[in-house]
Amino acid sequence: MTEPLYYFIQQLLNGLTVGSTYALIAIGYTMVYGIIGMINFAHGEVYMIGSYIAFIVLAALALLGLDSLALMLIGAFAISMIVTSAYGFSIERVAYRPLRGGNRLIPLISAIGMSIFLQNVVRLAQGSRDIAMPSLITGGWSIGPEEGFHATLSYMQLVIFIVTFITMTALTLFISRSRMGRACRACAEDIKMTNLLGINTNNVIALTFVIGAALAAVAGVLLSLYYGVINPYIGFMAGLKAFTAAVLGGIGSIPGAVLGGLLLGVTEAITAGYFSTEYKDVVAFSLLILILLFRPTGILGRPEVEKV
Amino acid sequence: MKRLHFKAALLSLAVVVALTGLLLGVRLEQQGTSLSLSGATPDVLWKMAGAGLFIFLFNLLRDWIDAARGRLPALPGVPGGISQLSELVAVRRLFWCFVIAAAIVFPFFANRGAIDLATLVLIYVMLGLGLNIVVGLAGLLDLGYVGFYAVGAYSYALLAMYFQVGFWTGLVAAGALAALFGFLLGFPVLRLRGDYLAIVTLGFGEIIRILLNNMTWLTNGPNGIGGIDKPTLFGLEFNRRAAEGAQTFHEFFGIAFNTNHRVMFLYLLALALVLATLFVINRLLRMPLGRAWEAMREDEIACRALGLNPTHIKLTAFTIGATFAGFAGCFFAARQGFISPESFTFIESAIILAIVVLGGMGSQLGVILAAIVMTVLPELAREFNEYRMLLFGLLMVVMMIWRPQGLLPMKRPHLELRT
Amino acid sequence: MNKATKHVSKLFAAMALAGMASYSVAADTIKIAMAGPVTGAVAQYGDMQFIGAKMAIEQINKAGGVNGAQLEGVVYDDACDPKQAVAVANKIVNDGVQFVVGHLCSSSTQPASDIYEDEGILMITAASTSPEITARGYQLVFRTIGLDSLQGPTAGKYIAEQVKPKNIAVVHDKQQYGEGIATAVKQTVEAAGYKVALFEGVTAGDKDFSALIAKLKRQNVDFVYYGGYHPELGLILRQAKEQGLNAKFMGPEGVGNADISAIAGEASEGMLVTLPKAFDEDPKNAHLVEAFKAKKEDPSGPFVFPAYAAVQVIAEGIQKAGSTDTDKVAEAIRSTSFDTPTGTLAFDEKGDLKDFSFVVYQWHANGTKTALGE
């Protein structure tokens, strides 16, 4: 009798796992948008690069024989975050900074170009084949009866929840408590005014890109550990989904990105679980359209004030 | 005061090392079931070192470089005489006549590959012009334009498959259906603003593609639809052997069969469609409707104050833009002879949008020029083989930085008040 | 139309033809176009085709070429995009190339082959398995790989007669190749009296299949047939094991390479695969495998040897026909058989291999396999 319940729990857990990773990537979109009002389409590629670096670090550590789990995780996270930060920083410097202040569409096209460029850099450097790695963290708990259907929660899923939660908390604290966080919020409010107040807005914007990229690396490492397969094209779809999540939650709002990501993930899992896997993207996008019809600025987005 | 920027140079060197060190310096290799690493070839390492050194020196000696750049003579601008000349209506007319004449005689002198490529360019011109109405003129960011393109292509393909409808009827039907979709989508979503509209249109484009892929009973799903008839010239076919009850072009004119005729005909047909599109859009622009589009883009609130109905105006822009995508889709289906959902992915929308932006939003000549650039560049870059897409992406970035206002930004006769 | 104008127009046509022909009378090289994805998401499969074809060209040239002429391979990138495939086909016509090995994706091969047939260009695909391609009565279109419609029934029959599962699910990747085979499998097992509990498509390129797996688990599925390629099935296997789904999996040749074990690890043990005979494990081909390894290339992909065979068939066809006239070559190809690394190949009227049989293999976690026979 409880089978439908456990099935629902299982799909919910599946959805939350996928949703957490959407959320991590979505934050990068939302932060950049909140501050300079542009869609950073190359963000998905930063996530992809983060995954590659994680693979390289893990493979290198394994080859050196340093296979303690803690060391591998710390190494992968640290190095991957450093490298993607460099990418976030450089992308902003090269492709967006010269275009700031003009029409909003210009940086969008530049970002699409950057995205194609990065995809191909990785393809040329690392080949286009799928690269796979065995799971490092295996096992899990089962929830429910021994006989019949029971839900499972793997340790890796738990790791994803925990890391996502810690990262989100740290970011929220950073934004709300630190000096730089205050500068970020000021920039989001009014970038010209902030500049007049003696804050180096260039640095703030660069920092936004760096933080967004570092979070994409966190997602990259987690997902490489969870799925264990990467290729140079994974960034595109992940970026698209994360972007959708960011808009769903109200672009520019960090809690919104988290909420949007989780909602999107759960919607997909529930659709696939109760209806059909083929239509999960259709349902996800339809949900987005529906929500935007009733809340035109997303779930947690601030209503835009029309200014003359 | 010139000084060495030692700190900045070291920092940028560090960034370059971080960027390239692991990603380019080490290669992951799958050996059987295990993963291993191999170092990059010395060739790559040298390149990395070169890039690092270049960035280091560039930052170190930035003051001198800036000074040297300042001393370079500025590029000669367009002489005032010519720019005044181009304002003259007669000169403009002459210019357009010349362009059109050149486009018409082009296939008789070019080789087959070039004609085919030019046909592809014309399809993108058509798409660019259509999207230009929505993005460039009405100022609505549409990331799902490819959805209407797909609707057009599939309308013709499905009608041809199930009801043996010919190209010309199909063209009308494709335009009408795409317009209907534009209208239906436009109705609810035009309340949204800016990027919210962008993501909804993106979602719509994806939904169309996935539906086409999933509804196998109707659309053959991923197998696509093949054997779509090529267009005919007043009932004359361009085949080696005519179908039942039809006549072929070469029999009618008594010339030897040459498959190049078909390629040429497709090109000329595409050209005719583009010219028709240009004509219609130019007429529309001179109508109150066209003026209203641009007014809406500039200031929506002012428009409302003047008594213009924004929903109505946006909806027409959306619907008319979609119609042209429908025509382009129908022609695309006829040119390919085979369509499948994978031709209508998001990246296609992105490329069309890039054409509009690169052209200089709102400018029609710019769109044409940009469509040529965006289609011909990857073809020219074929020589670079595996570096092709890399260069394409890089060029998109460089062109945006070099000319953010677009290749040929739209100009309007205007007066500026002296202050 | 009067006679004089007719004459003139004929003259023009003749001039045009002569102009075109002058491209193709290159003295002692025969160009072979290798068309497939160099860039794009499926570039990895394009690679398999290119290394196979390049190796064949290299070795044939080393052995003295064809009728004294050297072969020259030219790569054309279609990115598996149908639009670019048509452009590539027109470019190949334009470049005066008369022989094509490719394309890879069926959706590119189909529109391109229309042009080749029209222009008298001979095409052999080493990877496109859609039945539609050779079903249109074309004379110059061949393939050196088996059809979806052949592989599906083989797998379906094996399931019905040997595995006899209680509850079957058929999953595919919503692409031409995967869905085609999956549909054929479904029809075969249904004809044998089984009920398919679940027939569903996933999105190629997706990474998360946990929702689908929970669904399979709930329906107590004990056998899953997957139509598609290895990255998705690898992930499904891996996630199925984590969620504790106890089912046997089976897939077509698209999943049968060592990468699947790299992805799925232990979970790939015991999976069933229908494969053409494993060419790279055939002792006859040991020297070829060595040659690939010496170039640091991986000979294990499903399209490497068929592409090699395609070049060889073209070369020997030209040799037998004694000319590069494609009609004659096509006739020669149909009338004889070829001894290639993929076995002795003979072609039927449609241009398909006369007998291309698939064997059911059992897969092992270390990336090897054992044949199960009938």
What pLDDT, in 10s, does the model give residues A283-298? 989 988 888 888 888 8
Q: Report the chain A residue with the minimal C-alpha distance to residue C268.
A: A134
Query: Confidence class of residue B34 from pLDDT cuts 50, 70 and 90?
Result: confident
d(CA B297, CA B285): 14
Q: ipTM score here?
A: 0.87
What backbone torsions phi and psi does residue B248 show, to the nearest 5 degrees? Answer: -100, 160
Q: Which residues in chain A are contacts of B407 at CB distance < 8 A?
A: none
Q: What is the mean pLDDT of residues B10-24?
A: 87
Q: Residue B271's closest CA among B387, B57, B41, B107?
A: B107
Q: Are A3 and C174 in contact (CB < 8 Å)?
A: no
> A124-149: per-residue pLDDT in tens?
888 888 888 888 888 888 887 777 77
Chain C residues with beta carbon closer than 8 angstroms to that of A228: 235, 238, 263
What is the bridge-based pairing of β-strands B34-39 and C168-172? unpaired
Residue C27 pLDDT: 52
Cβ neighbours of residue B234 under 8 Å, at least 6 residues apart? Answer: none
Note whether A273 contacts C: Cβ–Cβ < 8 A: yes
Q: How far is A267 from chain C (nearest CA, A)?
A: 11
Report chain C (374 residues): mean pLDDT per 10 consecutive residues: 45 43 56 90 85 93 89 90 90 91 89 90 91 88 85 89 91 87 92 91 88 90 91 91 88 84 88 81 85 86 89 92 90 90 88 83 87 69
Question: What type of residue is A244?
Answer: T
Question: Which chains contact B through at least 3 pairs of Cβ atoms less than 8 Å apart?
Answer: A, C
CB A125 within 8 A of CB B24: yes
CA distance A93 to B8: 14
The CATH number of C7-145+303-341 is 3.40.50.2300
Q: Choose among B340, B329, B332: nearest CA to B176.
A: B329
Residues of chain A with C-beta less than 8 angstroms from the C-beta of C77: none
What's phi and psi for C263, nearest 5 deg? -75, -50
Instruction: Residue A105: list chain B partners with CB under 8 A.
Output: 135, 141, 353, 357, 361
Name which of A249-258, B114-123, B326-335 the model is least confident about.
Answer: A249-258
* Chain C: closest CA distance from residue B255 (Å): 6
CB–CB contact C207 A229 (8 Å): yes
What pTM does this model have? 0.87
CB C223 within 8 A of CB C165: yes
Q: Which of B277-281, B392-396, B413-417 has the lowest mean pLDDT?
A: B413-417
Give the closest of A132, A234, A270 to C234, CB-based. Answer: A132
Taking an 8 Å cut-off on Cβ atoms, the answer to whether B198 and A99 are in contact is: no
B235-249 b/e (C-beta count within 10 Å ≥ 16 → b): ebbbbeebeeeeebb
Residue B206 has pLDDT above 50, yes or no: yes
Q: What is the pLDDT of residue C12?
A: 44
Distance CA C238, CA C231 (A): 11
Which amino acid is present at C134? T
Using the structure block, give the residue that is written with the tokens 């005719």. Answer: B272
Q: What local confidence, expressed as pLDDT, does residue B86 receive?
A: 61
In eight-state DSSP terms, residue A230 is: E
B7 vs A243: CA distance, rounded Å: 36
Identity of residue C183: T
Q: What is the residue whose two structure tokens read 């908390």? A: A169
Distance from CA of C273 to the nearest CA of A (A): 20
pLDDT digits (tens, 9 = 90+) for B220-264: 888 889 888 888 777 777 776 666 666 777 777 777 777 788 888
Using pLDDT thresholds of 50, 70 and 90, give the confidence band for residue B22.
Answer: confident
Task: Report the residue from B192, B207, B404 with minimal CB separation from A99.
Answer: B404
In Å, how far is B44's CA from the nearest CA of chain A? 9
End-to-end CA distance of chain B: 36
Amino acid found at A107 = P
Q: Which two tokens stand for residue A86?
A: 């460099």
Write the DSSP symbol of residue C305.
Answer: H
Confidence of residue B124 (pLDDT cuts 50, 70, 90): very high
- Amino acid B74: pLDDT: 58
Q: Is C287 on the interface with B (CB under 8 A)?
A: no
Residue B36 and residue A279: Cβ atoms within 8 Å? Answer: no
Superfamily of domain C149-278+358-371: Response regulator (3.40.50.2300)
Residues forming CATH 3.40.50.2300 domain(s) in chain C: 7-145+303-341, 149-278+358-371
* Dihedral angle sign, alpha carbons of residues B39, B41, B46, B52: negative
**From the CB of residue B362, how many other CB atoms can be counted at a distance below 10 Å?**
24
Task: Tell how strand C248-251 and strand C358-363 pair up.
Answer: unpaired
The count of CB pairs under 8 A between chains A and B is 187
Q: Quote the minimal CA–CA distance from B387 to chain A in Å.
A: 8
How many CB atoms lie under 10 A from the CB of residue B6?
A: 11
Q: Please name which of C88, C326, C81, C137 lies closest in space to residue B227, comparing C-alpha atoms.
A: C137
Instruction: Write out chain A residues lying below 8 Å of C232, CB-based.
Output: none
pLDDT of B84 > 70? The answer is: no
Domains of chain B: 1-26+39-65 (no CATH), 109-402 (1.10.3470)
Residue whose tokens read 């822009």: B317
Report pLDDT for B251. Answer: 72
CA–CA dist B183, B320 (Å, integer): 9
Q: Does the structure show a pLDDT above 80 at B140?
A: yes
Q: Can you tell me the distance from the alpha carbon of C94 to that of C88, in angstroms, rounded to the nearest whole number? A: 9
pLDDT-based confidence at A46, cuts 50/70/90? very high
Residues C243, C221: Cα–Cα separation, whole Å: 13
Dist. CA A297–CA A292, nearest whole Å: 6
Q: Is the pLDDT of residue A70 over 90?
A: no
- Chain C interface disruption, residue of A146, A152, A154, A231, most C CBs within 10 A: A152
Q: Is B347 on the interface with C (CB under 8 A)?
A: no
